[in-house]
Amino acid sequence: MDETLDFAERLHAGKSQLPLALRLIRNTGVRKRHIVQPIEETLRHPGFAERNRIYEVESKKRCPEVIERALGNAGVTTQDIDAIIYVSCTGFLMPSLTAWLINTMGFRSDVVQIPIAQLGCAAGGAAINRAHDFCTAYPEGNVLIVSCELCSLCYQPDDDGVGSLLSDGLFGDAVAAAVVRGRGGEGMVLERNASYLIPHTEEWISYAVRSTGFHFQLDRRVPGTMEPLAPVLRELAADHGWDIANLGFYIIHAGGPRILDDLSKFLGVDEHAFRHSRATLTEYGNIASAVVLEALRALFDEDTTTPGAPGVIAGFGPGITAEMAVGTWTTDTPHTTDDRTAARIAVP
Protein backbone atom coordinates (compact mmCIF):
# COMPACT_ATOMS: atom_id res chain seq x y z
CA MET A 1 0.00 0.00 0.00
CA ASP A 2 2.83 2.40 0.80
CA GLU A 3 4.31 1.84 -2.66
CA THR A 4 0.92 2.34 -4.29
CA LEU A 5 0.35 5.66 -2.54
CA ASP A 6 3.88 6.82 -3.34
CA PHE A 7 3.54 6.01 -7.05
CA ALA A 8 0.10 7.61 -7.22
CA GLU A 9 1.33 10.83 -5.63
CA ARG A 10 4.28 11.06 -8.03
CA LEU A 11 2.58 9.99 -11.25
CA HIS A 12 -0.60 12.02 -10.76
CA ALA A 13 0.84 15.00 -8.91
CA GLY A 14 -1.22 18.14 -9.27
CA LYS A 15 -4.40 16.36 -10.37
CA SER A 16 -7.47 17.82 -8.69
CA GLN A 17 -8.92 14.37 -7.90
CA LEU A 18 -5.74 13.01 -6.33
CA PRO A 19 -6.36 13.88 -2.63
CA LEU A 20 -9.79 12.22 -2.69
CA ALA A 21 -8.45 9.19 -4.55
CA LEU A 22 -5.58 8.75 -2.08
CA ARG A 23 -8.02 8.87 0.82
CA LEU A 24 -10.25 6.27 -0.81
CA ILE A 25 -7.27 4.01 -1.57
CA ARG A 26 -6.16 4.18 2.07
CA ASN A 27 -9.63 3.05 3.13
CA THR A 28 -9.79 -0.02 0.85
CA GLY A 29 -8.19 -2.29 3.45
CA VAL A 30 -5.74 -3.59 0.81
CA ARG A 31 -2.28 -4.14 2.29
CA LYS A 32 -0.56 -5.86 -0.64
CA ARG A 33 -1.19 -7.10 -4.17
CA HIS A 34 0.56 -9.35 -6.66
CA ILE A 35 1.30 -8.30 -10.25
CA VAL A 36 2.75 -10.27 -13.16
CA GLN A 37 5.34 -7.66 -14.15
CA PRO A 38 7.76 -5.47 -12.18
CA ILE A 39 6.01 -2.29 -11.06
CA GLU A 40 8.14 -0.10 -13.34
CA GLU A 41 7.00 -2.05 -16.40
CA THR A 42 3.38 -2.06 -15.20
CA LEU A 43 3.38 1.72 -14.96
CA ARG A 44 4.46 2.10 -18.59
CA HIS A 45 1.98 1.63 -21.41
CA PRO A 46 3.54 -0.28 -24.34
CA GLY A 47 0.26 -0.31 -26.28
CA PHE A 48 -2.81 -2.52 -26.31
CA ALA A 49 -1.33 -5.14 -28.65
CA GLU A 50 1.75 -5.63 -26.46
CA ARG A 51 -0.29 -5.80 -23.30
CA ASN A 52 -2.55 -8.44 -24.79
CA ARG A 53 0.55 -10.39 -25.88
CA ILE A 54 1.76 -10.28 -22.27
CA TYR A 55 -1.66 -11.49 -21.14
CA GLU A 56 -1.38 -14.50 -23.44
CA VAL A 57 2.16 -15.33 -22.34
CA GLU A 58 1.44 -14.96 -18.63
CA SER A 59 -1.87 -16.85 -18.72
CA LYS A 60 -0.22 -19.79 -20.46
CA LYS A 61 2.68 -19.67 -18.01
CA ARG A 62 0.59 -19.55 -14.84
CA CYS A 63 -2.65 -21.46 -15.41
CA PRO A 64 -1.37 -25.07 -15.82
CA GLU A 65 0.22 -25.34 -12.36
CA VAL A 66 -2.89 -24.02 -10.64
CA ILE A 67 -5.11 -26.35 -12.68
CA GLU A 68 -2.96 -29.37 -11.75
CA ARG A 69 -3.33 -28.50 -8.07
CA ALA A 70 -7.11 -28.17 -8.37
CA LEU A 71 -7.42 -31.49 -10.21
CA GLY A 72 -5.23 -33.21 -7.63
CA ASN A 73 -7.19 -31.84 -4.70
CA ALA A 74 -10.46 -32.93 -6.31
CA GLY A 75 -9.14 -36.43 -7.01
CA VAL A 76 -9.66 -36.26 -10.77
CA THR A 77 -7.47 -36.16 -13.87
CA THR A 78 -7.69 -34.19 -17.10
CA GLN A 79 -9.44 -37.20 -18.67
CA ASP A 80 -12.24 -36.93 -16.10
CA ILE A 81 -13.14 -33.34 -17.02
CA ASP A 82 -16.22 -32.89 -19.21
CA ALA A 83 -16.34 -29.08 -19.42
CA ILE A 84 -13.92 -26.20 -18.88
CA ILE A 85 -15.25 -22.79 -17.86
CA TYR A 86 -12.62 -20.09 -18.38
CA VAL A 87 -13.32 -16.65 -16.92
CA SER A 88 -11.32 -13.48 -17.45
CA CYS A 89 -12.04 -9.82 -18.15
CA THR A 90 -8.45 -8.54 -18.43
CA GLY A 91 -7.30 -9.87 -21.80
CA PHE A 92 -8.72 -11.32 -25.01
CA LEU A 93 -7.85 -14.51 -26.88
CA MET A 94 -9.65 -16.26 -29.72
CA PRO A 95 -9.77 -19.16 -29.60
CA SER A 96 -10.19 -19.03 -25.84
CA LEU A 97 -7.38 -20.26 -23.62
CA THR A 98 -9.53 -23.38 -23.22
CA ALA A 99 -8.37 -24.62 -26.63
CA TRP A 100 -4.72 -24.24 -25.65
CA LEU A 101 -5.34 -25.97 -22.31
CA ILE A 102 -7.04 -28.92 -24.03
CA ASN A 103 -4.18 -29.33 -26.51
CA THR A 104 -1.40 -28.77 -23.98
CA MET A 105 -2.58 -30.47 -20.79
CA GLY A 106 -4.16 -33.64 -22.17
CA PHE A 107 -7.84 -32.92 -21.75
CA ARG A 108 -10.19 -34.92 -23.97
CA SER A 109 -11.02 -33.43 -27.37
CA ASP A 110 -14.75 -33.62 -26.66
CA VAL A 111 -14.54 -31.36 -23.59
CA VAL A 112 -17.16 -28.59 -23.64
CA GLN A 113 -15.58 -25.11 -23.75
CA ILE A 114 -17.39 -22.29 -21.93
CA PRO A 115 -15.41 -19.02 -21.96
CA ILE A 116 -16.94 -16.11 -20.02
CA ALA A 117 -15.35 -12.74 -20.77
CA GLN A 118 -17.74 -9.91 -19.93
CA LEU A 119 -19.11 -10.47 -16.43
CA GLY A 120 -16.11 -8.97 -14.66
CA CYS A 121 -16.01 -9.64 -10.93
CA ALA A 122 -19.33 -11.52 -11.06
CA ALA A 123 -17.82 -14.17 -13.34
CA GLY A 124 -16.46 -16.28 -10.47
CA GLY A 125 -19.96 -16.78 -9.11
CA ALA A 126 -21.33 -17.21 -12.64
CA ALA A 127 -18.77 -19.93 -13.39
CA ILE A 128 -19.77 -21.85 -10.27
CA ASN A 129 -23.44 -21.53 -11.21
CA ARG A 130 -22.92 -22.64 -14.80
CA ALA A 131 -20.87 -25.60 -13.53
CA HIS A 132 -23.74 -26.48 -11.21
CA ASP A 133 -26.17 -26.28 -14.14
CA PHE A 134 -23.92 -28.52 -16.23
CA CYS A 135 -23.67 -31.14 -13.50
CA THR A 136 -27.42 -30.99 -12.96
CA ALA A 137 -27.91 -31.77 -16.66
CA TYR A 138 -25.09 -34.35 -16.67
CA PRO A 139 -24.97 -35.87 -13.16
CA GLU A 140 -21.81 -37.86 -13.88
CA GLY A 141 -19.99 -34.82 -15.25
CA ASN A 142 -17.01 -32.93 -13.86
CA VAL A 143 -16.35 -29.26 -14.60
CA LEU A 144 -13.06 -27.38 -14.32
CA ILE A 145 -13.28 -23.65 -13.56
CA VAL A 146 -10.27 -21.47 -14.39
CA SER A 147 -10.05 -17.78 -13.49
CA CYS A 148 -7.17 -15.70 -14.88
CA GLU A 149 -7.35 -12.03 -13.94
CA LEU A 150 -4.28 -9.93 -14.77
CA CYS A 151 -5.78 -6.61 -13.73
CA SER A 152 -2.47 -4.76 -13.76
CA LEU A 153 -2.41 -5.04 -17.56
CA CYS A 154 -5.41 -2.68 -17.63
CA TYR A 155 -3.61 0.18 -15.86
CA GLN A 156 -4.03 3.42 -17.80
CA PRO A 157 -1.44 6.03 -16.73
CA ASP A 158 -3.32 8.91 -18.35
CA ASP A 159 -6.63 8.23 -16.58
CA ASP A 160 -6.94 10.46 -13.54
CA GLY A 161 -10.64 10.29 -12.62
CA VAL A 162 -11.43 9.19 -9.07
CA GLY A 163 -12.82 5.83 -10.22
CA SER A 164 -9.72 5.08 -12.29
CA LEU A 165 -7.32 6.14 -9.55
CA LEU A 166 -9.20 4.10 -6.98
CA SER A 167 -9.06 1.01 -9.21
CA ASP A 168 -5.29 1.52 -9.57
CA GLY A 169 -4.98 1.03 -5.82
CA LEU A 170 -7.55 -1.74 -5.47
CA PHE A 171 -7.14 -4.44 -8.14
CA GLY A 172 -4.54 -7.21 -8.12
CA ASP A 173 -3.53 -10.12 -10.36
CA ALA A 174 -4.44 -13.74 -9.66
CA VAL A 175 -5.00 -17.15 -11.20
CA ALA A 176 -7.39 -19.60 -9.53
CA ALA A 177 -9.00 -22.93 -10.38
CA ALA A 178 -11.70 -25.18 -8.97
CA VAL A 179 -13.37 -28.46 -9.81
CA VAL A 180 -17.12 -29.04 -9.57
CA ARG A 181 -17.95 -32.75 -9.44
CA GLY A 182 -21.32 -34.22 -10.26
CA ARG A 183 -20.62 -37.17 -7.95
CA GLY A 184 -18.56 -37.51 -4.79
CA GLY A 185 -15.91 -35.11 -3.64
CA GLU A 186 -15.44 -32.78 -0.70
CA GLY A 187 -16.46 -29.17 -0.20
CA MET A 188 -19.66 -27.28 -0.88
CA VAL A 189 -22.60 -29.25 -2.26
CA LEU A 190 -24.29 -26.78 -4.62
CA GLU A 191 -28.05 -27.01 -4.28
CA ARG A 192 -29.61 -23.89 -5.76
CA ASN A 193 -28.34 -20.91 -7.77
CA ALA A 194 -29.75 -17.63 -8.99
CA SER A 195 -28.83 -14.53 -10.99
CA TYR A 196 -30.08 -10.98 -10.55
CA LEU A 197 -29.45 -7.72 -12.39
CA ILE A 198 -30.28 -4.35 -10.82
CA PRO A 199 -32.30 -2.56 -13.53
CA HIS A 200 -30.71 0.35 -15.38
CA THR A 201 -27.27 0.12 -13.78
CA GLU A 202 -25.32 -1.23 -16.77
CA GLU A 203 -23.15 1.90 -16.95
CA TRP A 204 -22.09 1.82 -13.30
CA ILE A 205 -19.21 -0.64 -13.87
CA SER A 206 -17.89 -0.80 -17.40
CA TYR A 207 -14.97 -0.70 -19.79
CA ALA A 208 -14.43 2.04 -22.33
CA VAL A 209 -12.63 0.13 -25.09
CA ARG A 210 -10.16 2.40 -26.86
CA SER A 211 -7.01 2.07 -28.92
CA THR A 212 -5.08 1.99 -25.63
CA GLY A 213 -7.10 -0.93 -24.31
CA PHE A 214 -9.63 -1.35 -21.53
CA HIS A 215 -10.36 1.79 -19.49
CA PHE A 216 -12.14 0.87 -16.26
CA GLN A 217 -15.12 3.06 -15.36
CA LEU A 218 -16.62 3.01 -11.86
CA ASP A 219 -19.68 5.00 -10.83
CA ARG A 220 -19.71 6.44 -7.33
CA ARG A 221 -23.09 4.77 -6.71
CA VAL A 222 -21.61 1.25 -6.89
CA PRO A 223 -20.71 0.97 -3.17
CA GLY A 224 -24.39 1.41 -2.33
CA THR A 225 -25.61 -1.56 -4.35
CA MET A 226 -25.72 -3.98 -1.42
CA GLU A 227 -28.90 -2.40 -0.09
CA PRO A 228 -31.00 -3.56 -3.09
CA LEU A 229 -29.08 -6.84 -3.41
CA ALA A 230 -29.37 -7.92 0.23
CA PRO A 231 -33.11 -8.73 -0.12
CA VAL A 232 -32.31 -10.82 -3.21
CA LEU A 233 -29.85 -12.91 -1.20
CA ARG A 234 -32.35 -13.18 1.63
CA GLU A 235 -35.05 -14.38 -0.76
CA LEU A 236 -32.74 -16.99 -2.34
CA ALA A 237 -32.01 -18.47 1.08
CA ALA A 238 -35.68 -18.29 2.09
CA ASP A 239 -36.73 -20.11 -1.08
CA HIS A 240 -34.38 -22.88 0.03
CA GLY A 241 -35.86 -22.89 3.54
CA TRP A 242 -32.96 -21.07 5.19
CA ASP A 243 -32.45 -17.83 7.08
CA ILE A 244 -29.66 -15.85 5.39
CA ALA A 245 -28.61 -14.42 8.76
CA ASN A 246 -27.89 -17.85 10.25
CA LEU A 247 -25.72 -19.77 7.79
CA GLY A 248 -22.55 -21.66 8.56
CA PHE A 249 -20.33 -19.91 5.99
CA TYR A 250 -20.39 -16.96 3.61
CA ILE A 251 -18.21 -16.64 0.48
CA ILE A 252 -18.76 -13.10 -0.79
CA HIS A 253 -17.01 -11.15 -3.54
CA ALA A 254 -15.05 -8.45 -1.74
CA GLY A 255 -15.10 -5.61 -4.25
CA GLY A 256 -14.26 -3.25 -1.42
CA PRO A 257 -14.71 -3.00 2.36
CA ARG A 258 -18.06 -1.22 2.14
CA ILE A 259 -19.55 -4.18 0.25
CA LEU A 260 -18.86 -6.42 3.22
CA ASP A 261 -19.80 -3.80 5.81
CA ASP A 262 -23.15 -3.14 4.16
CA LEU A 263 -23.98 -6.82 3.71
CA SER A 264 -23.21 -7.39 7.37
CA LYS A 265 -25.65 -4.62 8.27
CA PHE A 266 -28.44 -5.39 5.81
CA LEU A 267 -28.34 -9.17 6.31
CA GLY A 268 -27.82 -9.06 10.07
CA VAL A 269 -24.66 -11.16 9.81
CA ASP A 270 -21.69 -10.78 12.13
CA GLU A 271 -18.68 -9.25 10.36
CA HIS A 272 -16.53 -12.23 11.37
CA ALA A 273 -18.56 -14.39 9.00
CA PHE A 274 -16.98 -12.51 6.08
CA ARG A 275 -13.42 -13.03 7.33
CA HIS A 276 -12.27 -15.05 4.31
CA SER A 277 -13.55 -12.47 1.83
CA ARG A 278 -11.99 -9.62 3.81
CA ALA A 279 -8.68 -11.46 4.08
CA THR A 280 -8.66 -11.92 0.30
CA LEU A 281 -9.10 -8.17 -0.15
CA THR A 282 -6.36 -7.42 2.39
CA GLU A 283 -3.76 -9.84 1.05
CA TYR A 284 -4.45 -9.77 -2.71
CA GLY A 285 -6.66 -6.76 -3.43
CA ASN A 286 -9.74 -7.10 -5.57
CA ILE A 287 -8.79 -10.01 -7.86
CA ALA A 288 -12.05 -9.87 -9.83
CA SER A 289 -13.56 -13.27 -10.66
CA ALA A 290 -10.91 -15.08 -8.58
CA VAL A 291 -12.10 -13.57 -5.27
CA VAL A 292 -14.74 -16.21 -4.49
CA LEU A 293 -12.37 -19.05 -5.38
CA GLU A 294 -9.62 -17.65 -3.15
CA ALA A 295 -12.09 -17.16 -0.28
CA LEU A 296 -13.23 -20.77 -0.77
CA ARG A 297 -9.60 -21.91 -0.60
CA ALA A 298 -9.27 -20.12 2.74
CA LEU A 299 -12.42 -21.86 3.98
CA PHE A 300 -10.93 -25.24 3.03
CA ASP A 301 -7.66 -24.39 4.75
CA GLU A 302 -9.38 -23.24 7.95
CA ASP A 303 -10.97 -26.70 8.15
CA THR A 304 -13.50 -25.81 10.86
CA THR A 305 -16.74 -25.92 8.86
CA THR A 306 -19.21 -28.43 10.28
CA PRO A 307 -20.40 -31.08 7.80
CA GLY A 308 -23.93 -30.22 6.77
CA ALA A 309 -23.47 -26.52 7.53
CA PRO A 310 -25.44 -24.30 5.10
CA GLY A 311 -23.63 -21.59 3.17
CA VAL A 312 -23.81 -19.06 0.38
CA ILE A 313 -21.56 -17.87 -2.45
CA ALA A 314 -22.18 -14.49 -4.06
CA GLY A 315 -20.29 -12.62 -6.77
CA PHE A 316 -21.11 -9.09 -7.91
CA GLY A 317 -20.04 -7.28 -11.06
CA PRO A 318 -21.00 -5.27 -14.13
CA GLY A 319 -24.65 -5.03 -14.89
CA ILE A 320 -24.96 -4.54 -11.89
CA THR A 321 -25.11 -8.36 -11.75
CA ALA A 322 -25.25 -10.76 -8.81
CA GLU A 323 -24.48 -14.48 -9.22
CA MET A 324 -25.46 -16.45 -6.12
CA ALA A 325 -25.53 -20.06 -4.93
CA VAL A 326 -26.50 -21.85 -1.73
CA GLY A 327 -25.49 -25.29 -0.52
CA THR A 328 -24.12 -27.36 2.33
CA TRP A 329 -20.63 -28.38 3.38
CA THR A 330 -19.57 -32.00 3.11
CA THR A 331 -16.45 -33.98 3.91
CA ASP A 332 -17.85 -37.24 2.54
CA THR A 333 -16.37 -38.41 -0.74
CA PRO A 334 -18.97 -41.04 -1.78
CA HIS A 335 -22.23 -39.84 -3.29
CA THR A 336 -25.62 -40.80 -1.94
CA THR A 337 -29.03 -40.94 -3.53
CA ASP A 338 -30.03 -37.54 -2.13
CA ASP A 339 -27.41 -35.54 -4.01
CA ARG A 340 -28.35 -36.39 -7.57
CA THR A 341 -28.91 -32.74 -8.51
CA ALA A 342 -26.06 -31.37 -6.42
CA ALA A 343 -22.54 -30.62 -7.47
CA ARG A 344 -19.52 -30.48 -5.20
CA ILE A 345 -16.87 -27.83 -5.51
CA ALA A 346 -13.25 -28.38 -4.55
CA VAL A 347 -10.52 -25.75 -4.87
CA PRO A 348 -6.73 -25.78 -4.49
Active site members: 121
Enumerate long-range contacts of 167-170, CB under 8 Å, 24 or more apart: 167/216, 167/218, 168/4, 168/8, 168/25, 169/1, 169/4, 169/5, 169/8, 169/21, 169/24, 169/25, 169/28, 169/30, 170/25, 170/28, 170/30, 170/256, 170/285, 170/286
264 phi and psi, to 5 degrees? -60, -45
Say if strands 249-252 and 310-317 run parallel, antiparallel, or are unpaired.
Answer: parallel
| Beta-carbon count within 10 A of 122 CB | 32
Q: How far apart are CA 82 and CA 142, in angstroms?
A: 5
Could you check whether the bond before residue 318 is cis, i.e. omega within 30 degrees of 0?
A: no
Beta partners for 312? 250, 326
